[in-house]
Chains A and B, each alone.
Chain A
Amino acid sequence: MSNISQATSTAHRPVYGLIAEFENTHDLMHAAEKVRDAGFIWWDCCTPFPVHGLDKAMGVKRTWLPFFVFGAGATGTAAAFVLQTFTNSFGFSAWALVKVTGYPYLISGKPMMSLPAFIPVMFELTVLFSALSCVGLMFLFNGLPRLYHPLLQNNRFRRATNDRFFVVIEARDPKFLRGSTEAFLRTLGASAVEAVED
């Protein structure tokens, strides 16, 4: 059990929060349950890989992401249908940045609205729109890309992407009190507790 690092005692900058380091997922899980039950809001667990069951231990609510992706997928289907019927089935003109005019192709005497032939492209654009929005929105909801973050300045925290598990309680949490929160984190079996500068 190492003590709070010396650097923080001479810190001139405000504190971003406290990090508590754990050596295995079992200890992290129990710590997360206790932090959750203590009623903290602005806190997190940082782990090198997704830990099974940690969402429940932290009380993380299920994301709405799939519903947005469904919407994006439906948009893709509709966009592909409009694109194909506009360009291949009718001779309408419309403005889409520039004036565009469709061309009614007559292919092997097939109907102008040949939906079966349009299905493959509708499928592909459904997948394309869904996949891109899925990843884009996931990063957006996560507040990424964010190349600067106080945690990334901390040397101990570097192992969060390697082999250590962290509980982070931010200073902006209404229940955060430097002294008592630090003492609380120590009771959770952390191998180290450290303050992180903002």
Chain B
Amino acid sequence: MSTLLASSTHAAEIIDNTVEEPGTRAPLVLNLTTFAEVTTTVCRVAEARRAPKAWYIAFALSLAVLGFLGFCVSYLIFTGVGVWGLNNPVMWAFDITNFVFWVGIGHAGTLISAILFLFRQKWRTGINRFAEAMTIFAVICAGLFPGIHVGRVWFAYWLFPIPNQMDMWPQFRSPLLWDVFAVSTYFTVSLVFWYTGMVPDLATLRDRAKGKLQQFAYGLFALGWRGSNRHWHRYERAYLILAALSTPLVLSVHSVVSFDFATSQLPGWHTTIFPPYFVAGAIFSGFAMVLTLAVPARELFGLKDLITLRHLDNMNKVILATGCMVGYAYSMEFFVAWYSGAAFEKFAFVNRAFGQYWWAYWIMVSCNVITPQLFWFKKMRTSIPMMFVLSIVVNVGMWFERFVIIVTSLANDFLPSSWDQFTPTWVDIGTMLGAFGLFFTLFLLFCRFLPMIAMAEVKAVMPAADPHSPEHAHDHSHGHAAQGRAH
């Protein structure tokens, strides 16, 4: 355990790599000058005989919450959806709120790994691996909810076009079916992207493994990767193509999720701004979740030299930008409701802010629009406690955003006689919290046994990786190329 915490003490000098200096690239890796140091720093988490104590505590807690999720879901399946607080106008509530919340969180991983890759944002290398892992676990949590809210889960396979004796097919003109295809494609492609990126690092773990079991397991999943440049050539091509495919995919997934609402006739849902608004919100919440996980993980596993303050600062900038986009969307919805002149549309929005769920609306606005404005100040963006708290605030806010959109629109629709109020039951709340147990259990297992940082990618952006770097020309004998310093 003490070795795990070593890197926080071996920091020889503190370099502030958040400073922008024209003409100099700020270093993305601090204090580690050789490739071997990067390998050791990342691998020792998976290689340590025992994880830090905090890991065991977190894992036990997550497992307990996951167990409670299992209980809530079983209770639901054996009893029926009546155990939730759904009623006649409010037929979607916590279930779909959770679904959209988790799918949204899943967007950050692919954004970091695909879009930032295409934009040549080299700082992505420090955070892409666990952001992608987070994506996959978030999509697993998301997939749970539509699965269990169909009521009779044993018919969930009806979602897919499987030939059956009834000659019954899904209805492909429905956005709900587009969603099935979008989310399952997204999950598959993200998984493949994550795994492909991990193969060279699994090979590193295989080559360092001491135990037979580790050698076998890492060896199996490393597929016999040996770093051949002829392989790297095709690998890099494939990675670029995957990034190019994932970029429109990630934008399409939350657009399709928003179609579930936007293509309906319900005031408050029937809006053309939904696709971009949902995508911005997804990235916003996803980055917040990456921060929520990155801040403790880099402390606990001694990864501060690889996930530097600059990485966190950059993520906070993305949160600020997308938070402003979301704020713009909130105000534009009101403008359009007024400008449309449609009485139901106007009512839906006034009711949202001042009706029975006013508190949910104002939690949403204060968490998503007002508090992220603190990130205009560099002091806030580079303060670890501040960003951790804000990332949780954003997560809360984004959960409420989906609740506000779904529940307020359904509860008060066209006919006042059919209005009702939604009150969650303990099963609703238990399932919502339980999903976090599933998420954190998977994430903690990932942290413990898989390379949390894309070692091969980090090494490739280090100054020592450049074959034309001036250090090599004078000094052929060893790989200790000096770090480029910010100042």
Contacts and interface: CB of A to CB of B under 8 A. Distances in A.
Interface in A51-74: 51-55, 58, 60, 63, 65-66, 69
A46 B227 contact: yes
Contact of A146 (B36, B39, B224, B233): B224
Interface of B is mostly: helix
A162 B252 contact: no
B229 A135 contact: no
Contacts of A39: none
Contacts of B175: 120
Contacts of A172: none
Interface of B: 34-36, 39, 161, 163, 167-175, 177-178, 181-182, 185, 188-189, 192-193, 196, 200, 203-204, 206-208, 219-220, 223-238, 241-242, 245-246, 248-249, 252, 256, 259, 455-457, 459-460, 464-469, 472-473, 476-479, 481
Contacts of B236: 50
Interface in A128-182: 128, 130-132, 134-135, 137-139, 141-142, 144-149, 151-152, 157-163, 166, 168
A120 B235 contact: no
A110 interface: yes
B465 A121 contact: no
A7 to B, nearest CB: 18
A23 B464 CA distance: 11
Interface in A87-109: 87-88, 96-98, 100-103, 105, 107
A38 interface: no
A134 B227 CA distance: 19
Task: Pick the most buried of A47, A49, A132, A159: most chain B CB atoms within 10 A of its CB.
Answer: A49
Contacts of B223: 139, 144-147
B472 A26 contact: yes
B8 to A, nearest CB: 23
B36 A103 contact: no
Contacts of B200: 48-49, 161
A47 B227 contact: yes
A60 B181 contact: no
A128 B259 CA distance: 20
Q: Which of A58, A134, A161 has the most CB of B within 10 A?
A: A161
A23 B479 contact: yes
5 contacts: A51-B460, A65-B238, A110-B173, A139-B223, A160-B227
B224 A163 contact: no
Contact of A87 (B169, B203, B468): B169
